[in-house]
Structure 1
Amino acid sequence: MKHNSYVYPISDPSWIEKLCRWADHHFDFFAYTNGNNHQYPEGPFATHFYAGKSQLSKKEIWNEPSSFKKVGIIGYDYKNQLENLNSENPAFFDLPEVCFFAPSFSLKFLGEKVISDVELNEEFWQEIEQITLPERPFTNCSVQPQITPENYSDTVKAIQRHIVEGNTYESNFCQAYTGTFENWDPISAYFNLNKLSPMPFSALFKAKSQWLISASPERFLKKTGSKLIAQPIKGTIKRGVSKAEDLQNKETLGNSEKEQAENLMITDLMRNDLSKVSKTGSVKVTELFGIYPFPKVFQMISTIVSELKEDTTFAEIIQASFPMGSMTGAPKIRTMEIVEELESFKRGWFSGTFGVIEENGDFDFSVVIRSIIADLAVKKLYFGVGSAITFDANAEQEYDECSLKAKAILEVLSGK
């Protein structure tokens, strides 16, 4: 059935932030996704807004075919439902492992236009226009790293002992920063973070008192028709302060045998995961070791595509591929056991996946990294950063890489 489309111009540059504040007042669940016009292989997130009243049940999430959109998160610890694994580390606060809603209201944005399936009446526009943005939003939060550089170094050595013993080839070890607050404004935090670090998989997600503020550079999986796309990131270097240094850093990353080895291991792992649900011989690496610029870093990205077997469900795709190899390491199951032993926190939504499933079954999901996770009811937030530890990894350099990944978030939380 074809829907009518209503197109409206937006002249106020703060209109989307006002829309989010309007939704926060009227809805328990909403999400805003923004691709920030990135030239990303297979395209970034579409720029969309969704709002809904209630959380979907497990049956509603996983049952197919579906006649409605679904927007939400699968937390990292959902791995325990897929494999014989557990998560015993302490959580900063309780989060649902899987949290989706069906939007009752949605908009898409093209440049300075908003497109709606329903006619937006004058009252709606007046409500949005009357919202006043805070002059001094509360985005400051004193945060503390969970481990010291010395503890980090000891953990890298422990992983390298596992590598020598043949238990893992590469482990994505993550550390967390945590903070508490009296007042904290997640909507302002999102727009500040997106200004500092506009990413291809930027997202703001509200589920009652819990929020995701995401500046993710990485796609987990995208499905278009029968085509499945995975785009693992492994390989990071900072941007240069001059044009010459920038070019030099890009070449350094592109030519790094260590970064290529890390990327190749995860690319192979993702090829294997996709092969479980794809037609025989259809899994192809369309780009290996692509170097892409972001505001603060260059990233090494590989793209794997395949043709899905007929009638493959979303649940079957997740069973085959979750969690994403870039956030675990290889081999996947044993390495997840190792990082569980060595990490100090329950990952929760961090290093899970956020995205949208369309009515026709197509979907696009990011990796939840470079993201703040907050609960306004318990007045706590946290974020995680990680890097791939291999046999020849240097603990000091890996710690510096984690600090680089944390930089934009720390700037937002310091109020700078």
Structure 2
Amino acid sequence: MLKINEQKFLEMDELSLQKVPFFFVIDFLMENVLIFSQEDLEAQKILVDFPNFKNVQPFTFETKGVTWKSFPQSKEDYQKGFEIVQNHLKLGDSYLINYTCETLIETNLSLEEIFYQSEAKYKVLLPENFTFFSPETFVEIKNQEIFTHPMKGTIEASVPNAIDELKNSVKEKAEHYTVVDLLRNDLSMVADWVKLDEFQRIDFLKTRNKNLYAMSSEISGKVKPEFQNKIGRLMKTLLPAGSILGAPKPKTLEIILEAETYERGFYTGVCGYFDGENLDSCVMIRFIQQNGENLTFRSGGGITHLSKLADEYQEMKNKIYVPIH
């Protein structure tokens, strides 16, 4: 049973009804909800780099070679959680489960240096806590039109005919179709006239070690009157985000909590900026957590009954990167 922080969602509603700008961060289980004014962000040295909102200043670091080592769990340890997931899929408890892992990393970069030097659509730094560099929009609201962009399905760009392989892979297509259908249903809870605007768009993700292609779609609708200018109520209805959970959502959440060996915390939660009229938000993936002196990277992927252990284990490892060129 989720212990949702009801008070914070009501606070978000009050601010958005008053058209007061704010930035928010919501963890995976909706237990921890952080709300910041622009003054709060500055006082706490929280850095945000969104397409339509930035509070970062030009920053120059000394030039140095980047060292980056990751220490993923063994395939045998990964297999333990993978088999829990597969058993539930075979029982029909779920048909898509996003299974993730935590990986220790070593680098000569600080969280701040990673934040400034990486390139992504959405970047946030909570000092001495976490940073992420996410390509994935959660929902946008513009003039009471709502948009979501589910991203599911990746392939290494070096694979011959990679784009065709990604678009035509039976497993990747099944995963993408499932998430698109899930988010179309989710959006229908808060919006009318929901429609699929773009299907299976391919994005190129450039990284230091491996380049990837990722598949996404766009779904839109008109925000229902009872959700207009109520950002808290809308977020509480839509979360957890379907693209990093699976379907059906309640049972799949139970399976994830059984299979995963760590607490996600803010990883795969969402954060966003409300400017007084419109909203932009993202899913917090490509995520690095700081625990004392240690840094860990969180990554994973969608598992279906068609998934192969070796392929999913490799995908989890492929996603442990920083987009520094």
Instruction: Give the shorter-chain TM-score range.
Output: 0.7 to 0.9
Following TM superposition, the consecutive aligned residue runs of length 4 or more in structure 1 with deviations greater than 4 angstroms are 105-109, 136-143
Partner of 2:283: 367
Change in 2 beyond 3 A, CA 1:211/1:393 = closer
Q: CA deviation at 1:383?
A: 2.1
Structure 2 counterpart SS, 1:408: coil
Aligned residue among 28, 32, 35 for 1:76: 28
Q: Give distance in 1, aligned partners of 2:120 and 2:239.
A: 22
**Runs of 5+ unmatched residues, structure 2:** 1-6
Q: Is the 8 A contact 1:350 1:383 kept in 2?
A: no
Partner of 2:99: 173
Q: Give distance in 1, aligned partners of 2:261 and 2:295.
A: 16
Q: Is the 8 A contact 1:138 1:184 kept in 2?
A: no
Q: Is the 8 A contact 1:175 1:384 kept in 2?
A: yes
Partner of 2:35: 100
Q: Is the 8 A contact 2:22 2:275 kept in 1?
A: yes
Query: Which of 1 and 2 has higher RCO (CA within 8 Å, sep 6+)?
Result: 2
Q: Is the 8 A contact 2:85 2:303 kept in 1?
A: yes
Larger radius of gyration: 1
Change in 2 beyond 3 A, CA 1:236/1:67 = same
Q: How does 1:384-403 map to 2 (within 5 A)?
A: 384-403=298-317
Structure 1 counterpart SS, 2:257: helix
Partner of 1:380: 294
Partner of 1:189: 114
Q: Is the 8 A contact 1:274 1:320 kept in 2?
A: no
Change in 2 beyond 3 A, CA 1:72/1:381 = farther
Q: Is the 8 A contact 2:27 2:266 kept in 1?
A: yes
Q: Does 1:407 align with 2:321?
A: yes
Partner of 2:261: 344
Q: CA deviation at 1:379?
A: 3.1
Change in 2 beyond 3 A, CA 1:108/1:337 = closer
Q: CA deviation at 1:386?
A: 0.8
Q: Give distance in 2, aligned partners of 1:381 and 1:100.
A: 25
TM-score computed with the length of structure 1 as normaliser: 0.66
- CA RMSD in angstroms, aligned pairs only: 3.2
Q: Give distance in 1, aligned partners of 2:129 and 2:89.
A: 37
**Runs of 5+ unmatched residues, structure 1:** 1-56, 82-96, 117-127
Q: Is the 8 A contact 1:153 1:396 kept in 2?
A: no
Per-residue CA distance 1:335-373 (angstroms, 9 max, x = gap): 01001001011001110112211112x111111111212
Q: Is the 8 A contact 2:48 2:125 kept in 1?
A: no
Letter in 1 for 2:62: E
Structure 2 counterpart SS, 1:315: helix
Q: Is the 8 A contact 1:216 1:370 kept in 2?
A: yes
Structure 1 counterpart SS, 2:93: coil
Q: Give distance in 1, aligned partners of 2:130 and 2:83.
A: 35
* Percent sequence identity over aligned pairs: 26
Aligned residue among 62, 74, 86 for 1:135: 62
Structure 1 counterpart SS, 2:183: helix
Q: Give distance in 1, aligned partners of 2:54 and 2:217.
A: 33
